[in-house]
Amino acid sequence: MDTLRKQKIIVYALLWALFLLMPPMRFLRIHKSYIVNTGYIESATRTSVRMKGGTTLTVGESYRAAFCEALDI
């Protein structure tokens, strides 16, 4: 299982279609280009998410309300 976590996977699909297939309690859409696994969120504000490993992502305006509600921010 650890090797799978380190691999990059390329998927040719629309992001919204892929998002509909994911478990909603485990994944959040935070931007038109980003879906995040909530188990890998290190910290979050209303406008950004810091992931384990150090990557920081921006929360898009149109996704902000749902994101903040899901994480009680």
Say if CB 32 and CB 6 are below 8 A apart.
no
The residues that bridge with 70 in the sheet, in sequence order, are: none
Residue 48 has pLDDT above 90, yes or no: yes
Nearest 5°: the CA angle 43, 46, 48 is 55
The overall pTM is greater than 0.95: no
Quick: pLDDT tens for 10-47. 878 888 898 999 888 899 999 999 999 999 999 999 99
CA–CA separation, 22 vs 27, rounded Å? 7
